[in-house]
Structure 1
């Protein structure tokens, strides 16, 4: 892990994850772009989404990823998140079979119960990736997949921008960490996952149409997706 403070160009007041997402919940759906995560998931070649009869959505938030997985034919989906306010929105959305308030490192869900674990836009909030990879490995059956997508470390470093939202008194940052690609590979391999696919998405016309100010980032990686198989 690299200290985000080395790259922070914003200096926003910073809050912990649970506080931040509770404060962001009302505007979250209008802020997060599909190009960050689900559009990247859609380009992956290895996952055959309807083959997943059961899935766990780690860091399910308002249920965006869960709804996307359900629409792709994934069966029963259990969601886990640290923030009660986010879980309330996910419950209203109705994409999940169950919703659990828990730390992603210790979900309390049964071992080897899922064909798929999905984790979207979460890793930058974790000080250590290893517990997430270990817990996902415990939850997934042999032959099952972990699909993780998040902001690319190169983008976080070059943009100098933490995950943030507009609070009543101005922008508020949520605790952000920079995990290099090698940090993911090290944590995944140490947890006995086998890397099956990786995709890095760059800033192109689609992103610049959404955020014209990002034209200076054209060609830079913005998202990274990892597909791991439990052997």
Structure 2
């Protein structure tokens, strides 16, 4: 039986902004022009760089789920990962990733049904995606299907404590200047652990990254969030028995 999920639609309890909300595909299509200028490396790739279990240069290829504009794929290639196959739900984001040229293949697909070959990736990775999923379990199951024996699944995303404390859904400034939220869901750390274990994964590393000097230097107004974890990264292994 699947483990229960405590996922909550963010706007139901924690939203202090009151922005109009759009679905994921609409939101990222509208954000595509400003996305690269908005998302800070401190949020995701700098956290990936701090992990100790993945030996990036030793990974010959990877599946990049929710690849967006190709930021994660480009970072992986810069670390020595040989080839990266990406999937994303939003055609406009895929166009940017295609122009970037970091991926071996790119396809439009839902993360729960990627149509990528099963059992063939030493690394499956997803970044800044999980808050848009109403249920984590299909993602963890699909990642497990894709991973080869002893392969890794690395997930980095917004920490639920930060989402609750800041009262801030994922959002962007639309072309007309309107601040617009993208459908956001809250998942506790325990929800990730339950979903991963239920899918068959073994947790190999967990990192919670707090707001510190680097964040405050970039966003001085975040001084009030100092010490609150802003990102969480999970490293799962498909252990052989």
Both proteins in one fold, TM over 0.5: yes
- CA displacement 1:124-176 (0-9 Å, x = unmatched): 00000000000000001001100000000000000000000001141000000
Matched pairs, number:
231
**Per-residue deviation at 1:51?**
1.5
The 2-side partners of 1:64 and 1:210 are apart by 19
Structure 1 gaps of 5+ residues are none
Matching residue of 2:211: 203
Matched residue of 2:8: which SS?
coil
Matching residue of 1:75: 82
The answer to whether structure 1 residue 138 and structure 2 residue 145 are counterparts is yes
Structure 2 gaps of 5+ residues are 1-6
8 A Cα contact 1:2 1:180, kept in partner: no
Matches within 5 A, 1:1-231: 1-4=7-10, 5-167=12-174, 168-231=176-239
TM-score scaled by length of structure 2 = 0.95
The 1-side partners of 2:225 and 2:86 are apart by 34
Runs of 4+ in 1 over 4 A off after TM superposition: none
8 A Cα contact 1:119 1:149, kept in partner: yes
RMSD of the TM alignment (CA)? Answer: 0.6
**Per-residue deviation at 1:228?**
0.1
TM-score scaled by length of structure 1 = 0.99
